[in-house]
Amino acid sequence: MTRLGDPAAPIPRRVLAGLGALSVAIALVAGCDQPPPKAPITPRGKTDRVQIPAGGAFFPASGNWGEYHREVATFAIDRHEVTTDQYARCVAAQACTPAKRGDHCNARRVDRADHPINCVDRAQAEAYCGWAGGRLPTEAEWQRAAFGDGPERFFAWGKAKPDPSRANLCGSECTDQSPIMRLRVWGPYEGTDPWPTTAPVGAVKAGASAFGIEELGGNVREWTGSTMLQQMFPEVCVRAPDWHGVAPRKARSGAPDDKGNDTDDDDDDDFEDDGDDDDAEGSLDDSPCEPVERAIVRGGSFAARDLHAASHAYFWHPHSSSQEPDLGFRCAESAPGTECFAECSQTGRCSWDGNQCLADSDESCRRSDECEQLGHCTAVDGACKLTDSDDCRATFGCQTIGHCSYRDGDCVVGSSVDCRRSHACTAHARCLLQGEDCVISSADDCRQSAHLCKELGACGFDRGDCIVVSDEDCSASKRCQEDGSCTMLNEQNCRPKTDAHCRGSAACRKLGRCFARKDVCTELEDEDCAKSENCRTYGACHLQDDRCTATSQADCQKAAICAGKRCRLSDGECEVTAPFP
């Protein structure tokens, strides 16, 4: 038997009730009639950040850019993507705004607490990372954490082809999720995985990088802290006025295809390619285009239909306000003493004051990406800002479309001098300022145009446009050398008229298109296909259905694109099915 005074003795219920009443009475007497404050809501998962040592980030060559390296300081990055539960805690703490709800969005779904948060824009991702004691990783940090500093890893886990144990991509299970997804022809791997959309974080451990970072190749694509200026090149405007190109050095589209060409990456999502290749030759409509800032997104996702989406070359640049079902994020953190390493190259804020990064000199500003992109080239009160025309003249917008003069906090075309110093004049004959735009004003402007006259043969002038006026202009143009377009068809176009035009062109040497028929160069003989570069590179060595095609597996085995890789013959083309044998 125990006594009441014994510390091990249970306290009778009547005594507990009396003590409870007494405590309430004391609280009321003391005026403490409010409940005690709740403990602050704190993030989970910060302790699972992995430190990545300083080193290089390798970016492979593809399409129109060569391989390059970026140095990265020591940093830490989340092992996993931020989960729905973690983000909900930030919302509950009133530090984050609620994620969008909708089809395939995970927010407020109790069965997806351990799935990655998705359907959030970049501002929401930045808010969470700030609350969790970090920031979004830069693109170079993300690349280093995933692939290291060399070309050895085609995927985060190595060289092996993706499968459901390594990445949650679009297997056969995801084609039933929407009419758009059902349009895909094949997926990145055979069979199915257990998750039609997102998977719980940590479910695909075989896909971890050399540093142990998971979900880099699939599940959801991820926001980074890097931005780019989505700047239309005038030559891209000529081809398709509604298509947005990108600035040099950051001019990388999505995944390269098996022939090394850039694939489509539109403004919305990666569920479906529009396949539109209209107006491949371009027109003479080269209207100037306005710059738009975009964000950089990396990694594959559950909706990815191509194995390259998990590769070291995949790249996406949506508007920062995008809230897609296959778009999430993870957080990073700078090591002590390196707090400003990444921000220095991007914003020019290179000095750490113990609380934030500051710009302490015009020199640091002028070395930054934002100086080239936005004119933020002068240090003012710890930040790089656009202050005058000298800042505007340092921008890519000045070089391309003449935005070289400062006015009301922005860079604009201030005079015809701005037009003449820009690519709009040297390439597209827009050398005179009229209103707020650079326009074509004379035949002299047209004849000096690198694109319109020297490439397309449009060297004459009529009613504000450069036009084709003679066979001589066509025969002197780059198009004559490339596709045999050496004769004037009308004021808009030069076209091939004779077989001699075609046989002297690159289209004959490369593609076997050596005969002029209906104002185009085309293939008519098997021998021309066999001698073409298209045969040596892509296996298109035989004439079939009026075009050069591959007709056997032997053609593919000889093709350069299949060297050291697995290829299959599909609809007259040699198609790489795995990047490594």
d(CA 437, CA 428): 13
Average pLDDT over residues 165-185: 60
Q: Can you tell me whether residue 444 is helix, strand or coil?
A: helix
The maximal CA–CA distance of the chain, rounded, in angstroms, is 117
- Assess contact for 221 and 233: CB atoms under 8 A: no
**Does residue 539 come out as left (phi exceeding 0), alpha (psi in the -120 to 50 range) or beta?**
left
pLDDT confidence of residue 191: 64
pLDDT confidence of residue 565: 84
Tens digits of per-residue pLDDT, 302-352? 887 777 777 777 778 888 889 999 999 999 998 888 888 878 888 999 998
d(CA 514, CA 517): 10
Q: What is the per-residue DSSP string for 12-76? A: PHHHHHHHHHHHHHHHHHTT--SPPPPPPP--SSGGGEEEE-SEEEEE--BTTB--EEEEE--EE
Tens digits of per-residue pLDDT, 117-126? 999 999 999 9
Query: Which residues, at least 6 apart from 268, have a Cβ–Cβ distance to it below 8 Å?
Result: 318, 322, 324
- Assess contact for 402 and 419: CB atoms under 8 A: yes
Query: Which residues, at least 6 apart from 295, have a Cβ–Cβ distance to it below 8 Å?
Result: 122, 223, 224, 226, 227, 228, 317, 318, 319, 320, 322
Average pLDDT over residues 361-378: 92
Separation in Å, CA 511 to CA 62, 455, 478: 21, 20, 17
Q: 257-271, 503-517, 560-574 — which is least confidently predicted?
A: 257-271
**Does residue 313 come out as left (phi exceeding 0), alpha (psi in the -120 to 50 range) or beta?**
alpha
Quote the mean pLDDT of the chain.
78
Given a cut of 70, is residue 247 above it in pLDDT? no
pLDDT confidence of residue 576: 80
Q: Can you tell me whether residue 121 is helix, strand or coil?
A: coil
pLDDT over 70, % of the chain? 76
Give me 401's structure tokens.
Answer: 């479309």
565 secondary structure, DSSP code:
S
Q: Give the model's confidence band at 473: pLDDT under 50 very low, under 70 low, under 90 confident, else very high.
A: very high
Given a cut of 80, is residue 193 above it in pLDDT? no
pLDDT confidence of residue 238: 29
- The residue ranking higher by pLDDT, 37 or 388, is 388
Of 431, 432, 429, 402, residue with least CA distance to 418: 402
pLDDT confidence of residue 70: 82
pLDDT confidence of residue 197: 86
pLDDT confidence of residue 445: 95
- The residue ranking higher by pLDDT, 484 or 148, is 484
Q: Give the model's confidence band at 295: pLDDT under 50 very low, under 70 low, under 90 confident, else very high.
A: confident
Q: Give the model's confidence band at 373: pLDDT under 50 very low, under 70 low, under 90 confident, else very high.
A: confident
pLDDT confidence of residue 293: 59
Give me 107's structure tokens.
Answer: 């927010």
pLDDT confidence of residue 470: 94
- Assess contact for 512 and 523: CB atoms under 8 A: yes
d(CA 579, CA 197): 26
- Show the 3-state SS of 201-251: CCCCHHHCCCCCCCCCCCCCEEEEEEEEEECCCHHHHHHCCCCCCCCCCCC
Given a cut of 80, is residue 181 above it in pLDDT? no
Tens digits of per-residue pLDDT, 34-89? 444 445 665 654 558 899 998 888 787 665 566 777 888 899 999 999 999 999 99
pLDDT confidence of residue 438: 94
